[in-house]
Chains A and B, each alone.
Chain A
Amino acid sequence: MPDIVFRTEGVTKVYDTGELKVHALAGVDLELFAGELAVLLGPSGSGKSTLLNILGGLDHATDGRVWFRDLELTKLGDRGLTQYRRDHVGFVFQFYNLVPSLTARENVQLVTDVAVNPMRPEEALEQVGLTARMDHFPAELSGGEQQRVAIARAIAKRPEVLLCDEPTGALDSKTGVQVLEALKDINERLGTTTAVITHNASIRKMAHRVIYFQDGRIARVDVNEHQISPSEISW
């Protein structure tokens, strides 16, 4: 019996804009397992990001239930979700979301300042191969480097799960591969459960499982018996 990290039951999310109700998620049942690298694939608006936000405690589900291990996220208030994010989750975003007024090291420190048992910022940056660029500001780093700082920031707290929303979306193929290598490396060495959203189908081959989204629902789940290395991927 695999160790279940996330479990969702009939999760729905409705955005009410007044004139229009948008069903971003229309009943999602999913389990994510400890140590796995899952890729969430699907067209824009299929509900991937919404689900990731709910799993990460950034957003509330309209209906349904979500558990992180024994903790029912759907029962938590804002304060509880903040604590949950602080203790368990690492995020990587498409646009890196680095604070421009802080250096690479300081951007990582932003997380280590509030985490319970973090790595040293230098150690996290070393994991993504940025030891030499630690004291550079975001504006002095390339896109790939910025995204690797974002990954270092995400893993510095030694999170149990790493949630990545289009981590390569803003990068070219070569730098994108470097970022994927960093993610794969973290997943393998630290055993961090990693969920990666993408609509780049070629990335799916590095995952243990591929979850396909369509119209707010899971269309199907594929299991990869053999994962390829990121270096074999290109787009």
Chain B
Amino acid sequence: MRALDKKLLRDFRRLWAQALAIALVLACGVAILLTTYGMYGALEDTRTAYYERNRFADVFGDANRVPRGVLQDITAIDGVRTAEARVVKHVILDVPGRIETVTGRILSLPENGVAQLNLPLMRQGRLPDPTRADEVVVNAPFAKANNLQPGDQFFANLNGQKRELTLTGTALSPEFIYTIGPGALLPDNKTFGILWMPERAVSAAFDMEGAFNNVTLKLDPSAIEAEVIDRLDDLLDPYGGLGAYGRDIQVSNSFIDAEIAEQRNGSMILPPIFYGISAFLVSMVIGRIIALERSEIGLLKAVGYSDVEICIHYLMLACLIAVLGTLLGWGVGTWLSRAVARIYARFFDFPYLVYRVSYDAYAISGILAVLSAALGAAKSALSAARIAPAVAMAPPAPPRFKRTLLDRVMTVLRLSQPVMMILRSIVRWPVRSALTTLGLSLAAAVLVASSFFSDALDVLMQTTFDQANRQDATLMFSPDVRETALTAVANLPGVLKAEGQQFHAAVLRHGHLEKDTPIEARRPGTDLSRIVNGRGRIVDAPADGILLSERLATHLEVQPGDVIQIELKGGRNETHDVIVSGIVTQYFGLGAYMDLESLNRLLRQAPQITTANLLVDTNQLPDLHRVLKDTPELSGLVMLNEMRRSFQDTIRQNITIMTSIYVVIAVLITFGVAYNGARIQLSERARELASLRILGFTRAEVSFILMGETMLLAVLAQPLGWLLGAGIASALSKGSTSDLYAIPLVLEPSGFARASLIVLGAALLSSLIVRRRLDRLDLIQVMKTRE
């Protein structure tokens, strides 16, 4: 090994603490980039492959009842390659051994048994015999959650008839990677399942012979999706079309879209912060080392080492730090990716393991780490290469201090000499002080941003569950039933209170802007499911007009007082002008609210309801479930209490994990910045501080000078950290907003306080570690050392 390389390795070993402090910060960046970019790639690639292999449809359309003949017209639409008609219904299931009512979504399988689009991928057993009316395949996670094996039997309430069905196999489908039941917030495989059943059996059970109510299309690559959707709408509208849509609105796909977007955003927001801070720390440390090794550099040049060799020598030192950080980051990132993959496995049903982070992600995260370290070291390494050998051999000129306005102020303020030393040093190296402050403020910002999530979800859950949706359970009817049915519902065992609510498919238009979203309608004064306005007050939809959620209003660019057009789907498809009477807060879905009476007047029918919200006596739940399993009109049941609990548990768990990770990250950043800052100051000021000790200053007084600068910068960093944190939180809030949900921007004073306490605590600890070195300073040795 060359002597210069030996020097490199020994320098690296000597600097281990500082190198490690930087490497840990860099490792955070590498790990997060590896995880987010890796997961982003893995999700995207697997989804693409899965969609392709199992022919996931491009366009979807629902209607009430469409004659079979229309399918030919649909197939003839320009750009449509394949069209497949199905009968799709929601049913209530009675699974042996399960007290709760289970909701199922039945999909018909074509006559020949082989679907052309959205191919179910068999995991177990076989497809049902097309001639049998009692055989079904269910989605594999549902079978697993309910302990069902091929050959097992369970009951389904098919259009009022309770039928015993035999399970012939289990399957997965690209349509149901994220399987969320109607009205649910999270997937729950115990209470919601997908059933594939031969078309003949489904049609017979639901009186749909010669008709269909769902169609899916595969398009030519050259097709224009929006045009196909418009044409499909035209064809379905006469048969109660409920609005055709593309993959972007398909429920399962849009959840995966949201997750992919989150990972992509994650890979773009946080890692650059870590890489940036690492570059700064490397520049600070290498800059100091080069200052200390000035005469060695002169010597290397004197004996004939070229500028390039010297430049590379110091760049290599930075690269070693980067390599250490990369290896640590890869280790943590691999572990983190597996943890994320486990979470995905809980929520996403992919047929094959995709959770392998690609080599690209490893390569990119590593290369960026080396580049950022090299970039950080570049300026100092180049200056080392450029310095003339004769100049390098001579001791450096002492730093130039000039009298500035600050000095006059300090004189007037009669500040003590140590305080002046601290302030002068900050002013003397403004770039370094500013970057140190920025680094520490980013640590605080990361914490502010992380506590934002926790506080935001508190508000979100409080608004959604305590204020807006207070029912214990929601019954779903298909099709809508007369409002008078509520009387029967109220008489069900254990039901303390029942209120009706209608959901009607609609297209909302304002100028050229439009959105497909159901209109929710209820009677004024309902107490279980309520509307919350922007100020947290409970409001009712006015008799004439519509209330829109903030996101919907933003999308349509409307304000209270504006008039929008609503097209009511599923029947006559009439269009009406309605005035926007207010904007309300809603975090899940895109809400549009009307008065029940008004909506039904527009529909020209007696008031109807889609759901019944219930307050239930929990002691009588088993009885309620028993009766509901035999209720013909019922298409589903959501137990909100359980949903709330599982949602809160899941969210809490995720937040706890995430918050802990952020605290570790913030502490690592603080340690990296504060420790290196203090070490470099100690190195620069060793003579000065030793002189003060010789002059009779106590250890505490000398430590004050050393720690004072770091702590002063740490304190100055706080307001900036709060501001940056609020900015990151706002970006995260905006970035996570989709048609599915919105995370409100909630910033509590406690979040800022906690962030500052952690950062200041970590900064103090880092300075104290350096202080121990100061205590051990050999005064005589330091004074002897030639600068």
- The answer to the question of B2 belonging to the interface, with a C-beta cut-off of 8 Å to chain A, is yes
Q: Do A58 and B389 touch (CB < 8 A)?
A: yes
Contact check, A58 vs B393: say whether CB atoms are below 8 A apart.
yes
CB proximity to A under 8 Å, residues B730-787: 786
Residue B660 is within 8 A (CB to CB) of chain A in the complex: no
| Among candidates B3, B305, B306, B307, residue contacting A102 with C-beta atoms closer than 8 Å | B3
Question: When the two chains form their complex, are residues A101 and B303 in contact, meaning their CB atoms are under 8 A apart?
Answer: no
B295 within 8 A of partner (CB):
yes
Chain A residues with Cβ below 8 Å from B305 are 82, 86, 114
Interface residues of B in 6-29 (CB under 8 A from A): 6-7, 10-11, 14
Q: In the complex, which of the residues A59, A86, A115, A153 contacts B389, with contact meaning CB atoms closer than 8 Å?
A: A59
Considering only residues 88-133 of chain A, those with a C-beta below 8 Å from chain B are 89, 91, 93, 95, 97, 99, 101-102, 106-107, 109-111, 113-115
Residue A187 CB within 8 A of the other chain: no
Contact bitstring A51-63, B, C-beta under 8 A = 1, else 0: 0010010110000
Interchain CA distance A207-B538 in the complex, whole Å:
104
Residues of chain B within 8 A (CB-CB) of A85 are: 301-304
Determine if B7 and A87 form an interchain contact, defined as CB atoms under 8 angstroms apart.
no
A110 and B10 in contact, given A59-B388, A93-B393 (Cβ under 8 angstroms): no
> What interface size band does chain B fall in?
20 to 34
Is the beta-carbon distance between B295 and A78 smaller than 8 angstroms? no
B389 neighbours in A (Cβ, 8 Å):
53, 58-59
Q: Complex Cα distance A171/B294, Å?
A: 22
Contacts of B7 in A (CB 8 A): 99, 101-102, 106, 110
Q: Which B residues are in CB contact (< 8 Å) with A111?
A: 303-304
Residue of B nearest to A79 (CB): B306
**Residues on B with beta carbons closer than 8 Å to the beta carbon of A110:** 3-4, 7, 300, 303
- With contacts A101-B7, A106-B3, A106-B6 taken as known, whether A58 is within 8 angstroms of B304 at the C-beta atoms is no
**CB–CB A109/B388 < 8 A:** no
Nearest B residue to A108, CB-CB: B3
Give CA–CA (A5, B302) in the complex, Å.
19
Contact in complex: A82, B390 (CB < 8 Å) = no
- B residues less than 8 Å from A89 (CB atoms): 302, 304
Would you call A234 an interface residue if the criterion is a C-beta within 8 Å of the partner chain's C-beta atoms?
A: no
Which of A78, A97, A109, A113 is B307 in contact with, Cβ under 8 Å? A78
B298 in contact (CB, < 8 A): yes
Residues in B neighbouring A86, C-beta threshold 8 A: 303-305
Task: Please provide the chain A residues from 26 to 85 with a CB less than 8 Å away from any CB of chain B in the complex.
Answer: 53, 56, 58-59, 78-79, 82-83, 85
CA A95 to CA B392, docked complex, whole Å: 13
A83, B295: Cα distance in complex, Å: 20
Does B299 make an interface contact (CB < 8 A)?
Answer: yes
Taken residue by residue from 272 to 310, chain B's Cβ proximity to chain A (1 for < 8 Å, 0 otherwise) reads as 000000000000000000000001101111111111010
Once bound together, how far apart are the Cα atoms of A102 and B296, in whole Å?
12
Q: Are A82 and B11 in contact (CB under 8 A)?
A: no
CA distance A204 to B609 in the complex (A): 115
Give Cα distance in the complex from A56 to B302, angstroms. Answer: 8
Check B307 against A153 for contact (C-beta < 8 Å): no
Given A58-B389, A102-B6, residue A97 in contact with residue B304 (CB < 8 A)? no
Q: Contact: B299 with A99, CB < 8 Å? A: yes
Cα–Cα distance between A198 and B298 once the two chains are bound (Å): 20
Determine which of A97, A101, A113 lies in contact with B14 in the assembled complex, contact meaning CB atoms within 8 Å: A101
**Chain B residues positioned under 8 Å from A101 (CB to CB):** 6-7, 10-11, 14
Are A59 and B390 touching (Cβ within 8 A)?
yes
- Let me know if A114 and B299 touch, CB within 8 A: no
Which residues of B have CB within 8 Å of A79? 306
- Which one of B296, B304, B306, B309 has the greatest number of beta carbons of chain A within 10 Å? B304
Shortest Cβ gap from A64 to chain B (Å):
17
Nearest-neighbour CB distance to chain A for B399, whole angstroms, equals 16
Tell me the minimal C-beta distance from B396 to chain A in angstroms: 14
* Cβ B10 vs Cβ A82 within 8 A: no
CA distance A89 to B305 in the complex (A): 12
B306–A82 contact, CB under 8 A? Answer: yes
Bound together, the chains give a CA A234 to CA B304 distance in angstroms of 34
Instruction: Give chain B interface residues in 292-349, CB to chain A under 8 Å.
Output: 295-296, 298-307, 309
B4 lies within 8 A of A113 (CB):
yes
Cα distance A102–B295 in the bound complex, in angstroms: 15
Once the chains are docked, how many angstroms separate the CA of A228 from the CA of B2?
Answer: 40
CB distance from A11 to the nearest CB of B (A): 14
> Bound complex: CA of A101 vs CA of B7, how far in Å?
6
Q: How far is the CB of B86 from chain A (nearest CB, A)?
A: 75
Q: Is the CB of B10 within 8 A of A114?
A: no
Contacts of B299 in A (CB 8 A): 91, 93, 97, 99
Q: A30 to B614, alpha carbons, bound, how many Å? A: 109
Complex Cα spacing A153 to B302, Å? 11
Shortest CB–CB separation between residue B382 and chain A, in angstroms? Answer: 14
Q: CB-CB < 8 A to B14: which residues of A? A: 101
Q: Which residue of A lies closest to B303 (CB)?
A: A111
> Across the interface, which residues of B come within 8 angstroms of A97, CB to CB?
295-296, 298-299, 393
The chain A residue with its CB closest to the CB of B388 is: A59
Q: How far is the CB of A8 from chain B (nearest CB, A)?
A: 16
Could you list 15 examples of A-B contacts with CB < 8 Å?
A: A53-B389, A58-B302, A58-B393, A59-B388, A85-B302, A85-B304, A86-B303, A87-B304, A101-B11, A102-B7, A109-B2, A111-B304, A113-B3, A114-B304, A114-B309
- Nearest 3 interchain pairs by C-beta: A86-B304, A101-B10, A109-B3
Tell me the A residues contacting B by CB distance below 8 Å: 53, 56, 58-59, 78-79, 82-83, 85-87, 89, 91, 93, 95, 97, 99, 101-102, 106-107, 109-111, 113-115, 153-154, 157
Known: A85-B302, A87-B304. 17 other contacts (CB 8 A): A58-B390, A59-B389, A85-B301, A85-B304, A91-B299, A91-B303, A99-B3, A99-B299, A109-B2, A109-B3, A110-B4, A110-B303, A111-B304, A113-B3, A114-B304, A115-B304, A153-B303
